[in-house]
Structure 1
Amino acid sequence: MGKPATVAAAFTPLLRLAFGAEPPLRFEFWDGSSVQPAGDQPGIMRFRSKDALSHMVWAPGELGLGRAFVSGAVDLDGDIFKILRALQSAVPDAARLGIAGALQATAAARQLGALGRRPKPPPEEAQPPRGPRHTRNRDAAVISHHYDVGDDFYRLVLGPSMTYSCARFAAPDDDGRAGANAAVPLADAQRAKHDLICRKLGLADRPGMRLLDVGCGWGSMAMHAASVYGTQVVGVTISGTQAEFARKRVAEAGLSANIEIRLADYRDLRGEQFDAISSIGMFEHVGANRAAEYFDTLRALLRPEGRLLNHAISSIGGSKIRPRSFIGRYVFPDGELLDVGETVLAMERAGFEVRDVESLREHYALTLRAWVANLEADWDRAVALAGEGRARVWRIYMAASALGFEDGGLGLHQVLGVVPDDQGRSGLPATRRAWG
């Protein structure tokens, strides 16, 4: 078979296999040739060099395409959300073309001289973790990969709240019927989320209550509880950079007398008593096989009538993030999303009475869109802080995740449990009105 006249000519059979009659957006190639749909197009996927095809041949499917994007061999020009939605709508699983796709990609690579030596993965990719899943050392390694990227980079993306979890976009006078209010600024939405959790946990009932914040991140929840409600807080994280940054923020805010930040694993917590526990965006790192141990540990730390608020991403039926997926290699190695029903059951088996379950799915979509906007608005500085590859990882992962929350493929639930006293008293208010 001779060399095709253009790169587009070599790619066309592969595009037809993936998308049918015509692609959902314009595809441009390094020789200046292109393939495009007849109608409107949401953007451009640009293949800048042979390396793009080499990545896809050596790692067929999602991982190879992700490597090509992170390395800069593939670019997406236009509204990232519209581009990803168009690709998703055109074929349910465009990243997995099966054996036929792999053979077609190999044939195109051979025609274009792109087989060659296996390309190295971009340096931002995590090496597959070693040892059993969710052991202390392995958990510490994967947490470091994701969170020890640089505090200034996270501040750029997350905004001044430094809160890496779903916000709550509800104006003070919202009655909840209109859904998430996109007009609410991100910083206000994060404060609203923290305040909702504080009220669900009953921290407004009396000053000086003792709160454990598991997976405390950069200390935002601890600081809100201490500054607004006078709560005594212990925050724990296994990220060294997060712990250092959180301690600095706490000291600068004059809250050191109220907040202790520990570099510690939740499995190290023994022999203490708390009035309430918050776990915000941490449970995704625990794993289904450790869920019972996790809730048993937290249950033992609560006094009678103590409450736990578990705020976590969920998926119907549960799912483990695959080690050869883009998310598994670049974002959340070893991540697991439990079905909210399994979370409720695990809490009940540990001795909690589950009193409230609330979904904030649409709110997380808005949160992620706000983070993407922050990143894109200050792109050059983000690249200077973390490197172009890391910035690319965050842009595509957050945009794709936003679409997952919008279409219901991902969920976000707050589950409130209480430890009744020996008389069965929960100490909770009779209705949700107490926390809005």
Structure 2
Amino acid sequence: MRERIPALLSLQDLAINTIVKNIGGYRDLIQKTLSPPTRKIVFDRAMERIKDIGEDKVWAALPYLDQHRTTESFSSEDFAGIFRLQGKILQIPKGRISMEEFLQYLVEFVPNLKQLEIQGPRKTFVDKILYKKIELEPLATDLILKMENLTHISMDDVRIKFSGFLRVCEENQNLQSIQAQNILIDIQPLNSIKNILKKHDSKFDQQEYDLQKFPKKIGIAFKKTSDQEHYREAKLTLPNDFLDQIPSGVTKLEIFSQKPADILSERSCLLRILRREGGSAKSLFLHRIRPELNITFRHIFEHCHELEVLGVHSSCVRHDEQIGSFSKLKILVWLDRENVGTVRLDKIFTAPLLHQIAIHASRFDLGDTESLLSRIRNRKIMTEVTHVWIKYFVDREQVVLNAEAELRELVRELRLLGVSVNLDISDIQH
């Protein structure tokens, strides 16, 4: 049998792997000895093995891998280990490259960059305990603005001043989207923020605002889309006047209750939010709304006439009455693993346009089961429903109504009508 002769490609691979393994020491030899296509292969393999080779070695060789002239997307996350961090308590230095030096590299060597992700280098839980979050200096903003082809910018686990964030939004003419979760408020008075943000309505029709730790910091995401209708999302914790500082017309509201808190203040704030923004809200998500707040579906109905999606997460929202007045509701998500309240299916199912229902709970009440099933069977309710997901957490240590048997009967009836139903019954682990 003739012995197989190694292909030339195998020899080339061996040479490339040797270069990749020692890439930090080759540098200018890469440009002198390798053709552009081969440099591209070296770069791709170095990035695949960056954790094994060492981020600092790959970083040292990057300027000599000139395929960056055509690179359109870049993330600092690939080089998390090289960034300079300062200790929170003890001045423990880490890394050797500042964020500004990283951005300067991009300005010089990546002229066609369109998508930039600035990801904070604190990767582990221990890192976040020991080291401070990086704050982008004004020089960083200047460098970002020098990248004239940028269309998408993302900043996570790094701080940027509100004034700097605004500069990027206003001066970058090609910007399609930008988001940052740690924007430090450096503008006074606070009531001027709303008018400042309004100026961006014409440029970005999709806007998301996150309370974070207002009035110290907020999160913002702006996006330019081709949608005919604007989209504005607000995420906030009760009680807070955050909504007073952003443009009105919120289409998605996500509201969190905090514990412990002043019940009266939380309730008053929640009702004020519903009065102010309910008319434009198409999606509403409530988190950890406790029974003491005494919130009912009626409070939501009378203000949220356009609501299409409702999420109730670990919250008590009383629904003693039919919710047929929820005339545009299409999706209902009710997640109550903490056993906050009882889900009244006979009331919920009356919403006329419901398409999808997902409920995870440990207490169900179908009311008059025979009457409920008869109305479903005769197509008086649930005429638009296509999918139902029910997860029933059974507490065997408590005396409960015969909910399990009733739910199984409900599932059979719905399936006969062509509804896709998933029923999962699980015991609560004590």
TM-score if structure 1 supplies the norm length?
A: 0.23
| Higher Cα radius of gyration | 2
Looking at secondary structure, tell me which structure has more strand per residue. Answer: 2
Looking at secondary structure, tell me which structure has more helix per residue. Answer: 1
Which gives a bigger RCO, structure 1 or 2 (Cα 8 Å, sep 6+)?
1
